[in-house]
A and B are shown apart, each in its own frame.
Chain A
Amino acid sequence: MIPKPHGGKLVNRVVTGEKRDRLVLEAEELPVLSISYERAVDVVDIAHGVFSPLEGFMVQSDYLSVLHDMRLSNDLPWTIPVVLDVDPDEISGIKEGDYVALKHGETIVAVVRIDEIYGWDKREYAEHIYKTLDLRHPGVAKTMKRKELLVGGLVDLLNEIEYPVKHRVLWPIETRVLFREKKWERIVAFQTRNVPHLGHEYVQKAALTFADGLLIHPLIGWKKPGDYRDEVIFMAYEALIKHYYPRDTVVLAGLLMNMHYAGPREAVHHAIVRKNFGCTHIIIGRDHAGVGNYYAPYEAWTIFNEFPDLGITPLFIREAFYCKKCGGMVNEKVCPHGEEHRIRISGTAIRDMLRRGKTPPEYVMRPEVARAVIEAGNPFIE
């Protein structure tokens, strides 16, 4: 059965029709807060129900509860704060109860009703969310650059923002209708930001063995230099699905959402979001959403012990490698052979080969996938 959205109701704060026409006119007269692309992405995610049950940016009680207890103030699991930061100067003269327009570039994206203005301790945030104050952690570095105050309040989306592969992004209400049309009841989500190698395929097919369908759900949005371009990830997966997956078992759709590199907390966040998309299960990697050595091995798995009431089941499938003795992709649970027989797949090595236009060995990457990536021209963000 397709699970209920987190908190019971799928949020929809996208304003349409006459109400939108009226709000667009009113917004032109409102005080304006300029927001970054990342905050605009948060606004769009809130409005389309990706972050259900959140209907806006968090007020202080929810923020502190999430920070300290990994739950909203109503006790619902939630691990990553969704907050709007502002400068004191920007917000001077604005009081609780006022409405403001959120502008990204030249576009008024949304209107927010200011429910609360409050301070935050960015170091406390980093320590709880990222478990480090090290500025080399990309999440910590971003946090420290954020503004000094937070505002909480309901969001009304007036205009969509621009983002890559827009025609491949589906929102929760759309995947829910899609899964129902397909008559899928057990749906496994797979989070990715990479082109697929055989290790990914192994993990996905292990999960698909007991499920009705697989949602391959690449994160779309900001990427760092050297990452695969969004378009290339889609081309690579399309090649894989066409040649190696049974018909009608996979949905490939993009998810416009910010990446935090918050490791275990973000693993739970990814699970909650995929529940909103209608998934019953999610594959969680050993170092899911990790970066560097900030999180202990398997921490992204053990954190789920604290959330028996999550409403989506994490699947802890071990990392796959090629075993020369077994003659195929296996994992530690099913392969009895020693390390000398095992070939571990290195994402860095694959990138280097593809960058030079070379096809990785077939036990690492399907030739059709490699061809799609190489033929894309420059597959990486400059």
Chain B
Amino acid sequence: MASEDKVRVEVLLPKELYEKAVERGREAGFNSFNEFLTFLLEQIVEEEETEASLSPEDEERIKERLRSLGYID
């Protein structure tokens, strides 16, 4: 990701939590707390884009196929 796509924010965290998180990220193989935090936010905060971008017609077409194959009632 290009640096112009990033923002700098200041976050106030409990010291103990921060230290634990830094340690956890390091143990998990992340190169920095920033990298670890970005990964966590991506997993937890971001909305599922795919389903959200499905049109109602497409979604109904998929459900119809799933119904016809017996995957849903």
Q: Mark A85-128, 1 if CB is under 8 A from B, else 0.
A: 00000000000000000000000000000000000000000000
Which of B29, B59, B62, B66 contacts A305 (CB under 8 A)?
A: B29
B43 sits at the interface (CB 8 A) = yes
Per the bound structure, the CA–CA distance linking A115 and B59 in Å amounts to 33
CB closest residue in chain A, given B66: A178
Size band of the interface chain B makes with A: 20 to 34
Task: Given A9-B49, A173-B50, decide whether A181 and B29 contact each other with a Cβ distance below 8 A.
Answer: no
Task: Given A177-B62, A308-B29, A309-B30, decide whether A4 and B46 contact each other with a Cβ distance below 8 A.
Answer: yes
Q: Mark A1-29, 1 if CB is under 8 A from B, else 0.
A: 11111001110000000000000000000
**Which chain B residues border A305 with CB–CB below 8 Å?**
29
Q: Mark B26-46, 1 if CB is under 8 A from A, else 0.
A: 001110000100010011101
**Which chain A residues border B48 with CB–CB below 8 Å?**
2, 4, 176
**Which chain B residues border A306 with CB–CB below 8 Å?**
29
A176 touches B51 (CB 8 A): yes
A358 sits at the interface (CB 8 A) = no
B72 touches A173 (CB 8 A): no
A180 touches B51 (CB 8 A): yes
Task: Given A9-B49, A9-B50, decide whether A177 and B43 contact each other with a Cβ distance below 8 A.
Answer: no
**Which chain B residues border A307 with CB–CB below 8 Å?**
29
Task: Given A305-B29, A306-B29, decide whether A173 and B62 contact each other with a Cβ distance below 8 A.
Answer: yes
Count of chain A residues with Cβ under 8 Å from any Cβ of B?
A: 28
B7 sits at the interface (CB 8 A) = no
CB closest residue in chain A, given B29: A308
Which of A173, A176, A309 contacts B39 (CB under 8 A)?
A: A309
**Which chain A residues border B1 with CB–CB below 8 Å?**
74
**Which chain B residues border A173 with CB–CB below 8 Å?**
50, 54, 62
Q: Using a CB–CB distance below 8 Å, which chain B residues touch chain A?
A: 1, 28-30, 35, 39, 42-44, 46, 48-51, 54, 59, 62-63, 65-66, 69, 71-72
A-B contact list, 14 entries, CB within 8 Å = A2-B48, A3-B43, A4-B46, A4-B50, A10-B49, A173-B54, A177-B62, A177-B63, A178-B71, A178-B72, A180-B51, A181-B63, A182-B72, A311-B43
